[in-house]
Amino acid sequence: MDLEELLSVVQERFRPYDQTFPPIRKLPARGANQREVLALLTRLLREEEGRWKKGYVSGAVYHGEPAHTRFATQAYALASQTNPLHPDVWPSLVKMEGEIVAMTSALLGGGDSVRGAVSSGGTESILLAMKAYRDWGREKRGITEPEVVLPVTAHVAFDKACHYFGIRAKTVPVGADLAADMESVKSAIGPRTVAVVGSAPCFPYGVVDPIRAMSEVAHDQGVGFHTDACLGGFILPWARELGVAVPDFDFRLPGVTSISVDPHKYGFVPKGISTILYSDPDLLRKQYYVANRWPGGIYFSTSLAGSRPGGLVAAAWATMLSLGADGYRSIARKILATTRRIRTGAAKIPGVELMGDSAIVAAFTTPRMDVYQVMEQMSRRGWFLNGLQNPPGVHLAVTLRHTLPGVSARFLTDLRWAVRMAERAPAAAGLAPIYGMAETMPADAVEEFLSSVIDWMYHGS
Ligand X SMILES: Cc1ncc(COP(=O)(O)O)c(C=O)c1O
Chain residues binding ligand X by CB under 6 A are 121-123, 155, 157, 199, 202-203, 228, 230-231, 262, 274
Nearer to ligand X, 125 or 377 (CB): 125
Nearer to ligand X, 272 or 345 (CB): 272
User: Considering only CA atoms, which of 76, 86, 115, 69 is closest in space to residue 268?
Assistant: 69
Least distance CB 208 / ligand X (angstroms): 10
Nearer to ligand X, 311 or 345 (CB): 311
Q: Give CA–CA dist 287/265, Å, rounded.
A: 23
- Sheet with 258-261, side-by-side order of all strands: 115-119, 274-278, 258-261, 224-229, 193-199, 147-151, 168-172
The DSSP line for 51-119 is: HHHTT-BSSS-S---HHHHHHHHHHHHHTTT--TT-TTT-HHHHHHHHHHHHHHHHHTT--TT-EEEEE
User: CA end-to-end span of the chain, whole Å?
Assistant: 19
Q: Give CA–CA dist 142/157, Å, rounded.
A: 25
Nearer to ligand X, 82 or 386 (CB): 386
Nearer to ligand X, 155 or 410 (CB): 155
Contact 265, 62 (CB under 8 A): yes
Nearer to ligand X, 181 or 262 (CB): 262
- What is the separation of C-alpha 69 from the centre of its chain, rounded to a whole number of angstroms? 20
With CB atoms as reference, the residue minimizing the distance to ligand X is 122
Least distance CB 422 / ligand X (angstroms): 26
Least distance CB 34 / ligand X (angstroms): 32
Least distance CB 276 / ligand X (angstroms): 11
Contact 55, 401 (CB under 8 A): yes
Contacts of 169 (CB under 8 A, 6+ apart): 147, 148, 150, 158, 159, 162
Nearer to ligand X, 257 or 274 (CB): 274
Least distance CB 269 / ligand X (angstroms): 12
Nearer to ligand X, 273 or 374 (CB): 273
Neighbouring C-beta atoms of residue 141, cutoff 10 Å? 15
Q: Give CA–CA dist 280/258, Å, rounded.
A: 8
Nearer to ligand X, 122 or 433 (CB): 122
How far is residue 290 from each of residues 13, 106, 128, 442, measured CA to CA in Å?
44, 28, 15, 43
Contact 95, 87 (CB under 8 A): no
Least distance CB 323 / ligand X (angstroms): 19
Least distance CB 393 / ligand X (angstroms): 15
Least distance CB 341 / ligand X (angstroms): 22
Nearer to ligand X, 8 or 390 (CB): 390
Q: Give CA–CA dist 216/213, Å, rounded.
A: 5
Contacts of 355 (CB under 8 A, 6+ apart): 178, 204, 205, 363, 364, 365, 388, 393, 395
Q: Give CA–CA dist 132/128, Å, rounded.
A: 6
Least distance CB 273 / ligand X (angstroms): 9
Least distance CB 263 / ligand X (angstroms): 10
Q: Give CA–CA dist 422/418, Å, rounded.
A: 6
Least distance CB 69 / ligand X (angstroms): 18
Nearer to ligand X, 143 or 335 (CB): 335
CB burial class (10 A; 0-12, 13-18, 19+) of residue 343? buried
